[in-house]
C-alpha cells in the first residue's frame, strides 16, 4: 500500500481476521469485558458472601442496574453498539443466580420514563421503592443488591451542595439503603462511579455485607460485574485513590470552590495518600487506603529481599496463593525518604507488579526494580540546591505489601552519607505568589517567591536554501530531500496553514492536521479517547467502549493497558484516522473534578506508568498517541481561564511527574497542552513548560498541540513551542505577528517541522 494511503484515500480496509471489521469486534468487546472485570475492586466481603453461591436468589435495587453509566461525558464518550447493564449481566448468569425480575422491570420502566422526559444517563434520582414490591422481593430472595451510580463530564465539576450530591448519598439513596437493609439479611453494594465517593455508609455498616467498586466499566461493564459476582473472575483490582471518610478530609476540598478564577494548590505535594499517610492524625480519616482491594482467595508474600544493582534497587518477592480459588495479586513497593531539610511524604509508590492467575498453592516470584534517583525530591527553596532534584543524606526505607497501609518495611535500607544533587534543573514555571503551602506536619508555610523573568527559547533554526525543483513530502520520506529543504520551499502562508487544524475527512469529527495537497502533505485525522475511539454514530461506526481510565488503572496491569492501547489504535487505523487523543493523565486532586474518570490516579508514578503502557500499545500500530492535558487541569469549572497556582516542587513531583515518566518511557509523538493557566501563564503559551521542561530537560522530540479552542493567542502559542492550534488556527493572528516581527519565519518553521516529522512517521 502506498505511504499515507489511508489518510489520502480513506479506503475500506477492515483489519480483522478474514477482512472482517475490528472496530467494535467481538474480540475487542471481550477485551473490554476482561479489562472491566480486572479493574473491579472488592472493598468489603463479610463472611465471604461473595462470590454468590450457586442458586442464590437476588433482588436488585437502584436505577443503576438499568441506567448503567458506562463512562463519563464530553469528548470521553464512546459510541458503542450497545451497553450491557447490570441486570442484563446477571440475567446471563441464570444458571448461577436467580434475579427477582419484577423489581428490575419496575426500575426499567422508571428509567425509560425518565429518558422519555429528557433525563440524562446517571443524572436522575432514585424512586421510592414501592412497599409491595419490597415485600415480594423479600419473599423471593434473601440477598439484595443495591446499585449506586454517578456521572460526570468535562467542562463542569460536581458539587455537594444539596442540589447536586456527588460525594455523599442523596436523601433518596439513603432512603433506599435504609429500606433495603431493614428488609434483607444479605446486602451487596455495587458502586458504578467515576471517582471516589463516600464509603462510610457501607464500610461501617454491619447491615451491608459486601461492597464492590465497579467504576464505569464500558460497554460490557454489567457483564464484567456479573462475572465477578458469581466468581467466574476473582477480583484483583486495587484502589488508585484514597477513600476518605468525608469530602472535607481531602486537603484540596477547602479551596476547591473558592474561586472560578484560580485554584491554589495549598496542600502542595501532600496529595492523596501523601497527605493521609504523612500528616499526623490523618490516617484515621481513611476508610480504605491507597492500593487496597480484597480477593476471593488469600495470598502470602514470602522471601522478600532487595539488593542494589548499579543505580537501581531490585526487590524480589514470592507470592503464593494460599486460598482455595484461583486469583491474581498485586505487589506494591513504597519508599520513605529521610526528612532532612525538605519535608517528605511518609510513603511514596515506586514500583509494582501483578502476578499471573495463580491456582491454589501456586507461587510466583516477582522482581520489581526502581532507580535510586527516583527517590529524590525537588528542592524549590534552595535548601541544598535551588530547583534541583536532591537525595538527602540518611536512611531510605523500603516497604512491600498489597496496599500502602499494610506494606511492611523490609530488611533492606538504602543509606546515603551526604546530600546528593541528582539533577540540576531550572527554576521554570515558578509561582509569583503562594501564601500557603502545606508542610509534613500539616501546618502551612509561606513560600517566598521572587518575581521571575520568564525564560525565552531560541532553537537557532536556520532556514535552508530554497530548492531548485519542487519536492513533495513523499520525497522526504524516500530520502530524496531533507525536511529543512522541503520546508524552505513553503511560503509563509503555507507554513501558517500547517500550524492550524484542518477540516475533517472521512468519519473524523475532531479535525485533522497537514492537508496541503500541492506538496502531497496528507490530511491526517484526530479522534477522541481515552475510553475508546469516538466516532459520531450518525456516521455509522460503533467502536468498542472500554472501561474508563480509573478502572483500567485499578487493574495495576500494564500489559492489559498496552493491549487496550493496541486495540484502540487498530480501531483508529481501520477508520482511516491517525491520531488518537489518548491517554489523559491529570491527577485526581479532588473527588469533584468532572473529568476524574478520564484520568488514572491520585499518584503520579502510577499515572505515568499506565500512560506509558497505553502509549506503547498505541504507537506500536503506527498511530499517534497524545498524552493530555499538560498540565494541572485538575478542575473543570472555568477551565479555559482558571489559574492553577502551584509550587515548583508540587509541579515537578506531582503534576508534571506522570508526563515525565510517560515521555521518557514511551516517547509519545504528540502531547496536548491544557486549557488552564499555570502560575499566571497559559499552558498553551508556556514556553518554560514546553521548550524548557518538556523539550530541553526531558529530551522530548515530538510535537505539541493545543487543546481544542483554547483562549490563548495563536502567535504566543506557536512562539512557546505549542506547534499547532486545534481544531483550527488563527491565521490572521499569525500573519500580524509575522508582520510586526513578534514571530519569525524561523519560529513557524520549527513548529511546521515537528508537525511534518509526526506525519512522516505515519505509515
The residues annotated with a catalytic role in the active site are 707
Asked if 581 touches ligand BGC (CB under 6 A), the answer is yes
Cα–Cα distance between 525 and 251 in angstroms, integer?
41
**Residue closer to ligand BGC, measured from CB, 154 or 723:** 154
Min dist. Cβ of residue 500 to ligand BGC (A)? 15
CB of 154 to ligand BGC, least distance (A): 6
Residue 329 CB, shortest distance to ligand BGC, in Å, is: 34
Burial of 744 (0-12, 13-18, 19+ CB in 10 A): middle
Choose between 45 and 75: whose C-beta lies nearer to ligand BGC: 75
In the complex, minimum distance from the CB of residue 155 to ligand BGC, in angstroms, rounded to a whole number: 7
Q: How far is the CB of 510 from ligand BGC (least distance, A)?
A: 4
Is 74 or 323 the residue whose CB approaches ligand BGC more closely? 74
Binding mask 120-159 toward ligand BGC (x if CB under 6 A, else -) reads ----------------------------------x-----
Comparing CB distances to ligand BGC, the nearer of 346 and 670 is 670
Comparing CB distances to ligand BGC, the nearer of 235 and 627 is 627
Q: Cβ closer to ligand BGC: 160 or 510?
A: 510
175's enclosing H/E stretch is helix 171-183
The crossing angle, in degrees rounded to 10, of helices 657-666 and 604-619 is 30
Residue 16 CB, shortest distance to ligand BGC, in Å, is: 27
For ligand BGC, the closer of residues 209 and 526 by Cβ is 526
> d(Cα 550, Cα 553) in Å, to the nearest integer?
5
| Opening angle at CA 188, ends 187 and 189, nearest 5 | 120
Cell of 203: 464500610
SS3 614: helix
From the CB of residue 87, how many other CB atoms can be counted at a distance below 10 Å?
23
Residue 741: half-sphere exposure toward Cβ, Cα within 13 Å: 0
| Residue 649 is a binding residue for ligand BGC (CB under 6 A) | no
Task: Please report whether residue 713 would count as binding ligand BGC according to CB under 6 A.
Answer: no
Q: Choose which of 707, 713, 717, 723 interacts with ligand BGC (CB under 6 A).
A: 707
First to last CA, the chain: 9
Minimum CB separation of residue 638 from ligand BGC in Å reads 14
* Least distance between ligand BGC and beta carbon 579 (Å): 10
Give the residue among 560, 581, 44, 642 at the shortest CA–CA distance from 292.
44
Q: What residues from 612 to 631 belong to the interface with ligand BGC (CB under 6 A)?
A: 628
Q: Which three cell numbers stand for residue 744?
A: 519569525
All three cell numbers of 380, joined, read 524549590
Work out whether 708 is an interface residue with ligand BGC (CB under 6 A).
yes
Nearest by Cα to 715 from 687, 695, 696: 687
Left, alpha or beta for 728 (phi > 0: left; psi -120 to 50: alpha)?
beta
What x-and-dash track marks residues 456-495 binding ligand BGC by CB under 6 A?
----------------------------------------
- How far is Cα of residue 286 from the mean position of the Cα atoms in its chain? 23
d(CA 414, CA 537) in angstroms, rounded, equals 56
Footprint of ligand BGC on 500-519 (CB under 6 A): 510
Q: How far apart are CA 454 and CA 427, in angstroms?
A: 9
Q: How far apart are CA 175 and CA 605, in angstroms?
A: 40
Rounded to whole angstroms, the Cα distance separating 758 from 751 reads: 11
Maximal CA-CA distance, the chain: 88
Site string for ligand BGC, 387-426 (x = CB under 6 A): ----------------------------------------
Nearest to 523 by CA among 534, 514, 532, 533: 514
Report how far residue 526's alpha carbon sits from residue 516's, in angstroms, rounded to the nearest whole number. Answer: 16
Nearer to ligand BGC, 75 or 572 (CB): 75
Contact between 100 and ligand BGC per CB under 6 A: no
* Least distance (Å) between residue 670 CB and ligand BGC: 11
Residue 370, beta-bridge partner list: 313
Nearer to ligand BGC, 154 or 653 (CB): 154
Closest to ligand BGC by CB, 51 or 506: 506
Phi, psi of 490 (to 5 degrees): -80, 135
Rounded to the nearest whole angstrom, what is the least distance from the CB of residue 581 to ligand BGC in the complex? Answer: 4
- When the beta carbons of 43 and 263 are compared against ligand BGC, the nearer one is 263
Site size toward ligand BGC (CB under 6 A) is 8
Residues in the chain: 763
- Rule CB under 6 A: choose which of 126, 528, 602, 643 binds ligand BGC: 528
CB 207 within 8 A of CB 185: no
**Of these, 25, 56, 65, 75, which contacts ligand BGC (CB under 6 A)?**
75
Question: Which run of H or E residues covers position 514?
Answer: strand 512-516
Give me Rg for the CA atoms of the chain.
Answer: 26
| Residue 608: all three cell numbers together | 505515568
CB of 672 to ligand BGC, least distance (A): 7
What is the DSSP code (8-state) at residue 158? Answer: -
Q: Name the residues that contact ligand BGC, by CB under 6 A.
A: 75, 154, 510, 528, 581, 628, 707-708
Amino acid at each position: 500500500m502506498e505511504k499515507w494511503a489511508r489518510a489520502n484515500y480513506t479506503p475500506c480496509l477492515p483489519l480483522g481476521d478474514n477482512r472482517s471489521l475490528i472496530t467494535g469486534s467481538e474480540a475487542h468487546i471481550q477485551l473490554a469485558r476482561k479489562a472491566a472485570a480486572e479493574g473491579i475492586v472488592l472493598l468489603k466481603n463479610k463472611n465471604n458472601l461473595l462470590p454468590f453461591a450457586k442458586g442464590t436468589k437476588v433482588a436488585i435495587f437502584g436505577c443503576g442496574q438499568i441506567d448503567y453509566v458506562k463512562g463519563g461525558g464530553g469528548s470521553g464518550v464512546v459510541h458503542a453498539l450497545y451497553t450491557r447493564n447490570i441486570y442484563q449481566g446477571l440475567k446471563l448468569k441464570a444458571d448461577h443466580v436467580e434475579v427477582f425480575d419484577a423489581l428490575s422491570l419496575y426500575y426499567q420502566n422508571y428509567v425509560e420514563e425518565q429518558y422519555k422526559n429528557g433525563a440524562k444517563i446517571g443524572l436522575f434520582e432514585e424512586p421510592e421503592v414501592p412497599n409491595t414490591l419490597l415485600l415480594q422481593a423479600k419473599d423471593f430472595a434473601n440477598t439484595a443488591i443495591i446499585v449506586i451510580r454517578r456521572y460526570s463530564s468535562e467542562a463542569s465539576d460536581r458539587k455537594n451542595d444539596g442540589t447536586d450530591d456527588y460525594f455523599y448519598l442523596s436523601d433518596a439513596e439513603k432512603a433506599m439503603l435504609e429500606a433495603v437493609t431493614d428488609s434483607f439479611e444479605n446486602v451487596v453494594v455495587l458502586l458504578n462511579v467515576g471517582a471516589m465517593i463516600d464509603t462510610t455508609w457501607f464500610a461501617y455498616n454491619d447491615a451491608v455485607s459486601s461492597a464492590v467498586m465497579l467504576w464505569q466499566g464500558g460497554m460490557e461493564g454489567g457483564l464484567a460485574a456479573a462475572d465477578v459476582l458469581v466468581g467466574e473472575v476473582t477480583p484483583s483490582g486495587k484502589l488508585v485513590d484514597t477513600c476518605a471518610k468525608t469530602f472535607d478530609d481531602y486537603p484540596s476540598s477547602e479551596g476547591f470552590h473558592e474561586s472560578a478564577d484560580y485554584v491554589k494548590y495549598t496542600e502542595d505535594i501532600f496529595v492523596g495518600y501523601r497527605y493521609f499517610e504523612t500528616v499526623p492524625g490523618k490516617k484515621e480519616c481513611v476508610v480504605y487506603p491507597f492500593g487496597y482491594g480484597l480477593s476471593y482467595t488469600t495470598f502470602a508474600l514470602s522471601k522478600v529481599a532487595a539488593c542494589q544493582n548499579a543505580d537501581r534497587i531490585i526487590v524480589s518477592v514470592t507470592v503464593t496463593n494460599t486460598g482455595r480459588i484461583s486469583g491474581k495479586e498485586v505487589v506494591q513497593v513504597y519508599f520513605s525518604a529521610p526528612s532532612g531539610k525538605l519535608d517528605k511524604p511518609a510513603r511514596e509508590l515506586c514500583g509494582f507488579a501483578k502476578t499471573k492467575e495463580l491456582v491454589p498453592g501456586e507461587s510466583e516470584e516477582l522482581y520489581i526494580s526502581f532507580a535510586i534517583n527516583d527517590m529524590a525530591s525537588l528542592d524549590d527553596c534552595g535548601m541544598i540546591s535551588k530547583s534541583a532534584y536532591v537525595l538527602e543524606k540518611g536512611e531510605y526505607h523500603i516497604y512491600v505489601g498489597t496496599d500502602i497501609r499494610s506494606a511492611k518495611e523490609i530488611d533492606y535500607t538504602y543509606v546515603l552519607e551526604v546530600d546528593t544533587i541528582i539533577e540540576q534543573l531550572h527554576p521554570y514555571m515558578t509561582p509569583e505568589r503562594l501564601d500557603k503551602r502545606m508542610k509534613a506536619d500539616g501546618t502551612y508555610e509561606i513560600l517566598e517567591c521572587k518575581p521571575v523573568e520568564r525564560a525565552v527559547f531560541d532553537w537557532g533554526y536556520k532556514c535552508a536554501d530554497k530548492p531548485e525543483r519542487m519536492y513533495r513530502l513523499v520525497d522526504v520520506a524516500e530520502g530524496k530531500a531533507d525536511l529543512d529543504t522541503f520546508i524552505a520551499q513553503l511560503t509563509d502562508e503555507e507554513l501558517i496553514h500547517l500550524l492550524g487544524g484542518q477540516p475533517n475527512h472521512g468519519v473524523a469529527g475532531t479535525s485533522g492536521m497537514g492537508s496541503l495537497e500541492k506538496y502531497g502533505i496528507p490530511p491526517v485525522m484526530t479522534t477522541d479517547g481515552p475510553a475508546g475511539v469516538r466516532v459520531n454514530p450518525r456516521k455509522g461506526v460503533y467502536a468498542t467502549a472500554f472501561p474508563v481510565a480509573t478502572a483500567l488503572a485499578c487493574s495495576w496491569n500494564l500489559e492489559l493497558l498496552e493491549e487496550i492501547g493496541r486495540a484502540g489504535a487498530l480501531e483508529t487505523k481501520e477508520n482511516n484516522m491517525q491520531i488518537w487523543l489518548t491517554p489523559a493523565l491529570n491527577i485526581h486532586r479532588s473527588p469533584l473534578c468532572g473529568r476524574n474518570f478520564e484520568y488514572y490516579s491520585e499518584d503520579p508514578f502510577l499515572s505515568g506508568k499506565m500512560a506509558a503502557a497505553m502509549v506503547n500499545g498505541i504507537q506500536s500500530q503506527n498511530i499517534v498517541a497524545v498524552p493530555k492535558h499538560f498540565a494541572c487541569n485538575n478542575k473543570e469549572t472555568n477551565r479555559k481561564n482558571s489559574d492553577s497556582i502551584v509550587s515548583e516542587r508540587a509541579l515537578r513531583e506531582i503534576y508534571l511527574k506522570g508526563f515525565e515518566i510517560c515521555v521518557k518511557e514511551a516517547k509519545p509523538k504528540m502531547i496536548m497542552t491544557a486549557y488552564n493557566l499555570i502560575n499566571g501563564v497559559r499552558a498553551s503559551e508556556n514556553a518554560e513548560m514546553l521548550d524548557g521542561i518538556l523539550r530541553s530537560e526531558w529530551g522530548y522530540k515530538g510535537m505539541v498541540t493545543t487543546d481544542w479552542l483554547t483562549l490563548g493567542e495563536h502567535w504566543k502559542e506557536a512562539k512557546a513551542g505549542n506547534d499547532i492550534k486545534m481544531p483550527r488556527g488563527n491565521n490572521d493572528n499569525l500573519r500580524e505577528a509575522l508582520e510586526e516581527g513578534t514571530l519569525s519565519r524561523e519560529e513557524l518553521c520549527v513548529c511546521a517541522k515537528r508537525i511534518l516529522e509526526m506525519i512522516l512517521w505515519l505509515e
